[in-house]
Every structure is written in C-alpha cells, then in structure tokens.
Amino acid sequence: MHLPDDDLMACAILEARAAAARPRPDVPIGAVVADPDGVVIARAGNRREADEDPTAHAEVIALREAARVTGRWNLSGCTLVVTLEPCTMCAGAIVLSRIDRVVYGAADPKAGAAGSLYDLVREPRLNHRAEVTAGVRARECGDLLRDFFRERRRRG
C-alpha cells in the first residue's frame, strides 16, 4: 500500500506531537521513512532532551531504525518525510544513507540544508543526491513549532 506524501506527513506530525508531549518536551519535529513500496518502516520524533543527545534529531533516529529494519545502511529507494527541513547534520545523514527522496513540511531559513540556507541533499559535488519535495502540510508543521516556542516563552 503506497501512502501519498500527505498521509506520510500525517504520520510524521504524530511523531512531532509526541516529542512535544514527553515529560521532558522536545522541539516538535517528526520523521518517517517509507520503503520503496511506500510502507512506513521507521518513525521517530526529536529526542535531544529525552536522551540528552545533541544528535538525537528525528531524521537521524528514523534513518537508524530504517537501517535496522532493512538490515542495510543503504536506504536506496526509500523516502524520508520530516516536518521541518533537515539541518546540515541530518542532510549529511541523508546523503550517506542514499535516501532517494526527502519530503519536508516547514522550511527552515535559519538552518535548512535542503534548499533554504544550504542545499546539501542535492549538492552535485557529493556522491549522492536526493530528490526534494518541500512544503507538504507546511502551515500545519510550522504551526506546531510556532505554538511550541510561544508556549515556552510564555512559561519563561
């Protein structure tokens, strides 16, 4: 069953909401990896606060889980769907994992590395490039982040 990008993003949004709802709330970013048939094989939300790990971004965790599930690091044919445009660290992981497609919701003009600030996932000098689809459910993904940070500022 091949899920459309919108439905895959709905799964990523659920992961983002779960990240923000933890006892130690994290920035609401969620990611899923779909196999070549469009089946979700991995899902994750940010865990930097929960794990006290600066590398525990949703994308990295989802890529690790997808590699575990498939039994291979090379995720050719797979699609990564994430609520926020990947940062440089995550873009590097995308290139190294050979993900074919990246779908993201909200752009990140301050740190995005899939077209906004940098475009590492499509850098022609690297040994792999991913196709990028931007703006899927962008308003909803952006609202999650805006609401999260508004609430944090309110609480002090």
- Report residue 102 as tokens: 């990246």
- Pairing state between β 40-45 and 79-84: unpaired
Residues 6 or more apart whose CB falls under 8 angstroms from that of 44 comprise 15, 30, 31, 32, 58, 59, 61, 62, 65
59 an active-site residue?
A: yes
Identity of residue 15: E
- Report residue 115 as tokens: 């077209």
Residue with tokens 């990240």: 19
Q: Of residues 15, 49, 59, 123, which has the active-site annotation?
A: 59
Secondary structure, 3-state, 7-18: HHHHHHHHHHHH
Catalytic residues: 59
